[in-house]
Amino acid sequence: MPTIPGQLTPSPRLLLGPGPSDAHPRVLTAMTTPLLGHLDPQFLELMNETQEMIRTVYQTKNKMTFPISATGTAGMETCLVNLLEPGDKAVICAKGYFGNRMIDIAGRTGAEVTTLTVPWGQVFDLNVIRETLQKVRPRVLGIVHAETSTGAHQPIEELGKLCHEFNTLLVVDAVTSVGCTPVEVDAWELDAVFTCSQKGLGCPPGLSPITFSERAMDVVRNRKIKCRSWYFDLSLISTYWGGDRAYHHTGPISMVYALREGLRVVLEEGLETRFARHVRNHHALKAGLEAIGLTYTADPAHQLPQLNAVRIPAGIDDVACRKKLLNDFGIEIGGGLGDFKGVAWRIGLMGYNSKPSSVLLVLAAMEQVLK
Ligand code: PLP
C-alpha cells in the first residue's frame, strides 16, 4: 500500500514577494466553476471576452493578443523564438536577472546577440541605446520594463519610436508591470510584449498574455525557416487563439476562467485608479522601510511602486529573517536573485496585495525580525 499524503492544508500566507502575489478571491472562486470543453461554443465566447480585456489592459488594438498557456518565461520565449532566425541580429538590454534570461533565450534562437548592460539598480539612457542601434542595426531590441531583481523601472515611452527609426522591433518584458504601472502598447509603439497572470493581474501563475503588433506579425509571416519551437510557434497557436478556433493544444480552462475574472476586476477598478493605488501604497511602504533604516537598491528616480528591493542591513542573517517572517507572521518576501542574492530583499505590493493592510503588516513584522 503506497503512503498517501494527507489532505492539502497550506498555512495562511500573505504573498509579498516578487510573485506570485495572492490571487483575488473572485479569481479563486471563478476557478472552481465546472469545466467546459476547450472548443465548446460557450468557452470560445469566453476566449473572445478574455482577449478583448487583455487588449484593453495593454491599451492596444493588436489582433494577435492572447494568453500563452504557461508562465511569463513562455511569453518571453514566444516573442524571441518567433521574431528571430539564425543569423539575425538582436540587441538585448540587461540591467538585472531577467534581462540576462532574455540574452540566453535570444542566443538559443541562433541569433547574433549584442548585449548592453548597466549596473544592477540602474536603467538605460536612450542615447546609449540609439548609438547601439545605429551601429548594430538589429532586427530586434529586447528590454525589461520592470526589472523584478532590482526594482528598477525602465522608461520605454519613446523607445518604440527610436527602434522604428532603425527598422528594429521592440520586445518588452512587462511581466512585473502590467496591472501595476502603465503599459501603453499602441501609443508607445511596442511590437511584442509579454506579461504573466500571477502579479498585477491577481491570478495564480499559469498564463502569459502576449500581444504582437502588425509590424511584428509581418516578420513572423515572412520567416525564412520554421519557428524552432512547435508549442510557441505563433503561426500554429493562432489557429486556436486566432480566427479558426481549431485544436492546437488543450486550452487550460480553469486558468482562462481565472484570467477572465482577474481582468474583470482590473477593469472594474479602472487602470488609472489601479496605478494610483500602487503608487500610494508604495509611498507608505517606502516611508516605513526608510524609517526602520532600510535603503532601496534602485535608482530613486526609477523606483517601481510594485517591487520594493531594499539592501539587507550589515550583520543581518538573510535566510533566518525571511524564515521568521514566514513562520511567525505568515508573510513571504523575496530574497535577492543573481548578483543580489544575499544582498537584497524584495517586497512586492502587486495587484490585489497593493493595499494599506499589506503595508502595515509587513512593516510591523519586519520591525520585529530586525530587532
Ligand atoms: N520577467 C520578469 C521581469 C519576471 O519578474 C519574471 C518572473 O518573476 C519573469 C520574466 C519570468 O516569469 P515566470 O516566472 O512567470 O516564468
pLDDT at 243 over 90: no
In the reported structure, the alpha carbon of residue 286 is separated from the centroid of ligand 1 by a whole-number distance in angstroms of 23
**With a 6 A CB cut-off, is 338 part of the ligand 1 pocket?**
no
Reply yes or no on whether the pLDDT at 1 is more than 90: no
**CA dist 184 → 67, 177, 178, 259, 320 (Å):** 18, 11, 10, 20, 41
292 pLDDT band, cuts 50/70/90, is very high
Complex-level ipTM: 0.99
CA distance 30 to 9: 20
What global pTM score does this model have? 0.98
- For the segment 3-18, the average pLDDT, to the nearest whole number, is 97
For ligand 1, the distance from its centroid to the CA atom of residue 130, given in whole angstroms, is 27
Atom of ligand 1 nearest to the CA of 205: 15
Report the binding-site residues for substrate.
Answer: 346
Report how far apart the first and last C-alpha atoms of the chain are (Å, whole number).
49
Residue 298's nearest CA partner among 111, 103, 89, 120 is 120
Strands (E), the chain: 14-15, 64-68, 89-94, 112-117, 140-144, 146-147, 152-153, 169-173, 192-194, 208-212, 307-311, 331-332, 344-348
The residue among 200, 188, 248, 239 whose CA lies nearest residue 64 is 239
Cβ(18) – ligand 1 distance below 6 Å: yes
* Percent of the chain whose pLDDT exceeds 70: 100
Cβ distance 23 to 224 under 8 Å?
A: no
Work out which ligand 1 atom sits closest to the CA atom of 74.
Answer: 16
What is the CA(313)–ligand 1 centre distance, in A? 26
Average pLDDT rounded to a whole number, residues 38-59: 97
For residue 99, how far is its CA from the centre of ligand 1 (angstroms)? 10
- Whether ligand 1 lies within 6 angstroms of the CB of 20 is answered as no
Q: Ligand 1: which atom is nearest the Cα of residue 196? A: 15
Q: Name the nearest CA neighbour of 234 among 248, 251, 220.
A: 220
Q: Residue 110: enclosing H or E segment and its boundaries?
A: none
What would the 3-class secondary structure string for 193-258 be?
Answer: EECCCCCCCCCCCCCEEEEECHHHHHHHHCCCCCCCCCCCCHHHHHHHHCCCCCCCCCCCHHHHHH
Q: Is residue 231 very low, low, confident or very high in pLDDT (cuts 50, 70, 90)?
A: very high
97 CA → ligand 1 middle, Å? 10
- Per-residue confidence (pLDDT) for residue 27, from 0 to 100: 98
The finding on whether 173 has its CB within 6 A of some atom of ligand 1 is yes
**Residue 15: strand pairing partners:** 332
Distance 259 CA to ligand 1 centre (A): 17
The alpha carbon of 73 and the centre of ligand 1 are apart by a number of angstroms equal to: 6
Which tens digit of pLDDT belongs to each residue from 110-157? 999 999 999 999 999 999 999 999 999 999 999 999 999 999 999 999
Candidate from 21, 145, 148, 347 with most ligand 1 atoms within 8 A of CB, to mutate: 148
Binding site membership of 73 for ligand 1 (Cβ less than 6 Å): yes
227 C-beta closer than 6 A to ligand 1? no
How do residues 36-46 score in pLDDT, each as one tens digit? 999 999 999 99
- The residue to mutate among 93, 101, 176, 347, having the most atoms of ligand 1 within 8 angstroms of its beta carbon, is 176
Instruction: Quote the pLDDT of residue 307.
Output: 98
Pocket test for ligand 1, best of 15, 68, 97, 98 (most atoms within 8 A of CB): 98
Band of residue 181 on the pLDDT scale cut at 50, 70, 90: very high
The whole-angstrom separation of Cα 136 and Cα 109 is 18
Instruction: Please report, in range form, the residues annotated as the binding site.
Output: 346
> Does the beta carbon of 175 sit less than 6 angstroms from any atom of ligand 1?
yes
Question: pLDDT, tens digit, for every residue of 59-91?
Answer: 999 999 999 999 999 999 999 999 999 999 999
Q: How far is CA 209 from CA 279, 326, 334, in A?
A: 24, 30, 24
Nearest partner of 66 among 249, 228, 223, 225, judged by Cα: 249
- Which is the closest atom of ligand 1 to the Cα of 148? 5
